[in-house]
């Protein structure tokens, strides 16, 4: 079964999730992932062992379209249960961080269209219990669906795919420090971006966990700028936002910013694992000034500095 590619209007804060389930020691646990990351849903594949398989859940790799070799992860084993053995098991082939990965699951139910306002942020208890692998909670048809942080899962199994530290040096004397609003629902990403961008000395970061909180913060800055009769750039010089976030996603946030007569002066960069040609066009449609692909944190730092300096000097 191939991806349906049901078209969503850009910037409307909508998403589609595919619901799948994993048999975890006798019960079905239900999970979801963004359809935008799904390349294909297929039958179970025969795999070949890979060298240096760091985790028992990494079963091996199989050939895919266009000559790609795709690693296959048994989601039940990753979640601490017995391996998936049913003959009708499915493989969800995904693409993010410019890499294809297959996830073996017990079965797939259906695709749901919903709003990011329907996605609840996980509480601290759930984040701690899941080791921050759950990024959102959706209540559908009297059951709970957990949205998984696939990037964190892949990075744990294959550290080379984690956010890159290479090229980030010690703090240097910056001619000017720029105030940046960074928006991301992942606690680990927020920590990395805060530590590493601050380390170079060019940026001071204010952080929010979703688009709605960021929008409320920007409206407060706008009210302050109008009250004090100062330009908005006196308070913030740029915005970095993820796309997938509960309450309001990054595309809807960018659209609101660029439609506001005051806030539209601020450059907005989208930093996401989902960036590809199609999504880049969507980012441009809502007015984003740049799109950067995870996990290249070095590129984010350098390109964001270039973008900010092109605006404010």
Q: What is the pLDDT of residues 147-193, one digit of tens each?
A: 988 877 877 776 555 555 454 455 555 568 899 999 998 887 888 88
DSSP 2: B
Question: pLDDT of 65-85, one tens digit each?
Answer: 878 889 999 999 988 899 999
Report yes or no on 112 lying in a domain.
yes
What pLDDT score does 3 carry? Answer: 40
Same domain, 283 and 243: yes
The listed range with the strongest mean pLDDT (36-40, 159-163, 272-276) is 36-40
Give strand pairing partners of 113.
Answer: 16
- Position 135 pLDDT exceeds 80: yes
How much of the chain, in percent, has pLDDT values that exceed 70? 88
Residue-range definition of the domain harbouring residue 90:
14-160
Domains contained in the chain, number:
2
Query: Beta-strand (E) ranges in the chain?
Result: 14-24, 27-34, 38-43, 58-63, 69-74, 90-96, 99-105, 107-115, 134-140, 143-148, 178-183, 203-208, 238-241, 268-272, 290-293
What pLDDT score does 162 carry? Answer: 52
Buried b (16+ CB within 10 A) or exposed e, 193-207: bbebbebbebbebbb
Report yes or no on 277 lying in a domain.
yes
The residue among 99 and 161 whose pLDDT is bigger is 99
Q: Where a domain ends, among 137, 160, 183?
A: 160
Question: pLDDT of 188-246, one tens digit each?
Answer: 788 888 887 887 788 999 999 999 999 999 999 999 999 999 999 999 999 999 999 99
Give the SS3 label for residue 106.
coil
**Band of the pLDDT at 299, cuts 50, 70, 90?**
confident
Same domain, 127 and 206: no
Report yes or no on 2 lying in a domain.
no
Give the SS3 label for residue 119.
coil
Q: Does the reported pTM lie above 0.85? A: no
Report yes or no on 104 lying in a domain.
yes
Same domain, 187 and 123: no
Report yes or no on 8 lying in a domain.
no
The residue among 129 and 308 whose pLDDT is bigger is 308
Q: Where a domain ends, among 160, 189, 211?
A: 160
Same domain, 203 and 110: no
Mean pLDDT of 279-307: 84
What pLDDT score does 163 carry? Answer: 53
Other C-beta atoms lying within 10 Å of the C-beta of residue 259: 12
Spatial CA neighbour of 144 closest among 30, 35, 245: 30
- Position 126 pLDDT exceeds 80: no
**Band of the pLDDT at 5, cuts 50, 70, 90?**
very low
What pLDDT score does 199 carry? Answer: 79
């Amino acid at each position: 079964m191939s991806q349906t590619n049901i078209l969503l209007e850009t910037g409307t804060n909508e998403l589609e999730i595919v619901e799948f389930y994993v048999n975890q020691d006798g019960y079905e646990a239900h999970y979801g992932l963004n359809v935008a990351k799904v390349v294909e849903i297929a039958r179970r594949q025969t795999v070949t062992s890979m060298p240096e398989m760091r985790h028992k859940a990494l079963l091996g790799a199989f050939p895919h379209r266009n000559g790609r070799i795709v690693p296959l992860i048994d989601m039940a084993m990753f979640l601490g249960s017995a391996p998936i053995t049913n003959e009708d098991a499915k493989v969800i082939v995904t693409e993010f961080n410019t890499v294809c990965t297959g996830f073996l699951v017990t079965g797939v139910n259906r695709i749901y269209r919903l709003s990011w306002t329907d996605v609840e942020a996980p509480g601290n208890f759930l984040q701690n219990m899941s080791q921050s692998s759950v990024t959102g909670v959706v209540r559908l048809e009297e059951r709970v669906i957990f949205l998984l942080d696939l990037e964190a899962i892949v990075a744990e199994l294959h550290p080379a795919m984690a956010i890159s530290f290479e090229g980030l040096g010690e703090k240097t004397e910056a001619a000017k420090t720029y105030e940046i609003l960074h928006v991301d629902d992942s606690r680990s990403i927020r920590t990395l971006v805060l530590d590493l961008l601050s380390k170079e000395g060019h940026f001071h970061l204010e952080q929010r966990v979703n688009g709605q909180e960021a929008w409320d913060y920007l409206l407060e800055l706008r009210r302050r700028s109008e009250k004090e009769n100062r330009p908005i750039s006196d308070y913030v010089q740029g915005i970095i936002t993820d796309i997938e976030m509960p309450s309001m996603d990054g595309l809807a946030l960018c659209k609101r910013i660029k439609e506001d007569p005051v806030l539209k002066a601020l450059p907005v960069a989208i930093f996401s694992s989902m960036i590809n040609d199609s999504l880049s066009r969507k980012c441009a449609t809502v007015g984003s000034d740049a799109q950067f692909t995870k996990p290249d944190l070095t590129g984010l730092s350098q390109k964001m500095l270039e973008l900010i300096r092109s605006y404010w000097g």
